[in-house]
Amino acid sequence: MSTATVQRGLAPASILQGGVVDSVQRALSQLNAKDTPIEKYIFLSQLRSTAKDTFYRLLIDNIIDICPYVYTPTVGAACQLYSNIYRKPDALYLSYQDRGHLAEIMSNWPQKDIRIAVVSDGSRILGLGDLGIGGCQISVGKLTLYVGGAGIKPEGTLPIILDMGTNNEALLNDPLYLGLKMKRVYDDEFMDEFYTATRTVFKDCLIQFEDFSSESAFKYLDRYRYKKNAVISNDGTPYGGKCFNDDIQGTGAVILAGFINAVKLASAASGRSLFDQRIVFFGAGSAGVGVAMQLVEFFTRNGFTLEEAKQKFYLVDSKGLVTDDRGDKLPEHKKALSRKAGGPQYRTLEEIVENVRPTALIGLSTVGGAFNEKVVRMMAEFKTRPIIFPLSNPSHLSECTFEDAIKWTNGKVIFASGSPFKAVTYNSKTYESNQGNNFLSFPGIGLGCILSKANEVNDDMIYESALALSESLDETESATLLYPRLHRIRDVSATIATRVAQAAAKTGVAENEKLYGMSTEQILEYIKSKQYNPSPF
Ligand SMILES: NC(=O)C1=CN([C@@H]2O[C@H](COP(=O)(O)OP(=O)(O)OC[C@H]3O[C@@H](n4cnc5c(N)ncnc54)[C@H](O)[C@@H]3O)[C@@H](O)[C@H]2O)C=CC1
Ligand SMILES: CC(=O)C(=O)O
Ligand SMILES: [Mg+2]
């Protein structure tokens, strides 16, 4: 009996005989028929779980249009509504009540050859705060982009949510909330158990930490990132390395890439150089400090001493300019870039912009609209081409919109936002926006780590990923944009992955012996040959 005969009755004949075009076009038309972003999100989630090749073909071929429905801004609403829109599990759920048994539970997961896990504890989801286990949709969304944007095989990805309770009162009082109804616990032993269990059960797995509240984000990155700091598991095996924090390092890389290109554009207009930069960071959490530290590294690798580099940075948090003598106890992550005692104690952003006259204003504050008309107009008054990056997510928390930034600067702004904004036409000229989001960097970082079998994700690898991204613009992009257009993300991710793999080899952390004798072109070709390329039906 032929295969076609066997399959008869399982689907209409046109599907059995049909090609890629049919299933993808049908899915696209169904998607377009959904009215609201959250309905589109639900539709796409179901498509991913029932017809994965169709879903990923659809995503890859329409990434600019579909990304906002699987990622920011819609994923934010999906995390908030998770317990209401829940259909079936799509992430590994590890509860605090299951401590002592995490490895056993992980071994129940049907896929065994996991290469990348994205884990969140739900404590700081985008700029939306503590969303408890709703945060699992962030892990799912990031991995969807790993598959669509880097070509990692879906079977090798694992979204994880750690349920350590929640401090979100609305969730605790919601009868539909699916997570543990208890106040959040902060427990290093539980995290150690999670980390060692993952290392034990999924030996080749890279762990990406995502959307942990700042103190935990810095603490656990520091605790697990290096092999030399290894945690000792119950059987005495040291497990360290093979992890990175996306909000600190992925964001650092993507914004460094955008900053390098922004300074080029600004310098072409004003003649100012790196030397003239003064950068205000509005928001000093994991993302703000992560990006600032990555930029500091750029300055120190380009001829500045650490002290000279630090002088260029002004961190601002909810209490104003971060200084050594402000009168409050600074958390560890703010200390490195806190301004020295004896200087001015500015409280408001207006005051800071007026007095510092920054070349660049970077928002990672979660405060929508904070870059108001007065602030943005001042930036344009002081600088020929002000660099303004409102990077908070999702869209309604962006520190300003693209349209306002263009209008208030008369088109002079060099702009990047965390969530997408459409092109704007102003005074008969159309301006294309830039999305400065770590989704341009983490897929390439992860792919490079996986294929080089890196046992650590070190600073050189992250730094090289930023340079690779900044150099990846083609001639149609580099005159006006800061980043490559999104439809090229798979190629760009392969290029980033190549540089990451080379940095891993150079620093001796790549365990894939093959890489050591290969040229750049050969590594790129090898990486591209490994990319998942879905062909439904
Ligand atoms: N574009 C991108 O790729 C990324 C964007 N983000 C976004 O960045 C934002 C911040 O993330 P985290 O740093 O992890 O959060 P966080 O909560 O650790 O930090 C927020 C910071 O903003 C400050 N802040 C809050 N209200 C303020 C106010 N009224 N005035 C001045 N400062 C204020 C806080 O003091 C804190 O320093 C989130 O919206 C997140 O979605 C985060 C990672 C990547
Ligand atoms: C993009 C991202 O990682 C965030 O907003 O947290
Ligand atoms: Mg994040």
C-beta of residue 286 within 8 angstroms of C-beta of residue 333: yes
Cα 210 to ligand 3 centre (Å): 5
User: Cβ(393) to ligand 2 under 6 A?
Assistant: yes
Cα 362 to ligand 3 centre (Å): 16
| Token duo for residue 213 | 């509240």
CA–CA distances in Å: residue 71 to residues 139, 175, 418: 10, 27, 11
pLDDT score of 437:
98
Atom nearest to 210 CA in ligand 2: 3
Q: Which residues line ligand 1 (CB under 6 A)?
A: 124, 126-127, 214, 247, 251, 254, 282-288, 316-318, 364-367, 391-393, 397, 418, 436-438
The yes-or-no answer on residue 310 being catalytic is no
Delimit the domains of the chain by residue range. 14-69, 86-243, 247-435, 437-528
pLDDT score of 238:
54
**How far does CA 119 lie from the centroid of its chain?**
12
393 annotated among ligand-binding-site residues? yes
Our CA angle for 206, 209, 213, nearest 5°, is 170
Atom nearest to 72 CA in ligand 1: 41
pLDDT score of 21:
53
Distance CA 312, CA 360 (A): 10
pLDDT score of 535:
85
Residue 194 CB contacts under 8 Å (≥ 6 apart), including other chains: 94, 102, 119, 162
Cα 490 to ligand 3 centre (Å): 20
The CATH H-level superfamily of 86-243 is: Malic enzyme, N-terminal domain (3.40.50.10380)
pLDDT score of 167:
98
What is the full per-residue pLDDT of the chain (537 aa) written as tens digits?
A: 454 555 566 666 666 555 545 889 999 999 999 999 999 999 999 999 999 999 999 999 999 999 999 999 999 999 999 999 999 999 999 999 999 999 999 999 999 999 999 999 999 999 999 999 999 999 999 999 999 999 999 999 999 999 999 999 999 999 999 999 999 999 999 999 999 899 889 989 999 999 999 999 999 999 999 866 556 656 655 567 899 999 999 999 999 999 999 999 999 988 778 889 999 999 999 999 999 999 999 999 999 999 999 999 999 999 999 999 999 999 999 999 999 999 999 999 999 999 999 999 999 999 999 999 999 999 999 999 999 999 999 999 999 999 999 999 999 999 999 999 999 999 999 999 999 999 999 999 999 999 999 999 999 999 999 999 999 999 999 999 999 999 999 999 999 999 999 999 999 999 999 989 899 999 999 999 999 999 875
Nearest residue (by CA) to ligand 1, atom 37, is: 284
Atom nearest to 391 CA in ligand 2: 5
247 annotated among ligand-binding-site residues? yes
Same fold flag, 14-69 and 86-243: no
pLDDT score of 231:
60
pTM (two decimals): 0.95
CA–CA distances in Å: residue 372 to residues 54, 320, 349, 353, 424: 43, 16, 10, 12, 18
> Helix, strand or coil for residue 376?
helix
CATH of 247-435, one of 3.40.1360.10, 3.40.50.720, 3.30.360.10, 3.40.50.300: 3.40.50.720
124 annotated among ligand-binding-site residues? yes
Distance CA 101, CA 464 (A): 39
Nearest residue (by CA) to ligand 1, atom 43, is: 247
CA-only gyration radius of the chain, Å: 23
Atom nearest to 287 CA in ligand 2: 6
61 annotated among ligand-binding-site residues? no
C-beta of residue 412 within 8 angstroms of C-beta of residue 428: no
The yes-or-no answer on residue 71 being catalytic is yes
Distance CA 462, CA 449 (A): 10
Fold for domain 14-69?
Hemocyanin, N-terminal domain (1.20.1370)
pLDDT score of 273:
81
Quick one: CA torsion of 23, 149, 197, 463, rounded to 10 degrees?
A: 180
Residue 21 CB contacts under 8 Å (≥ 6 apart), including other chains: none
> Helix, strand or coil for residue 471?
coil
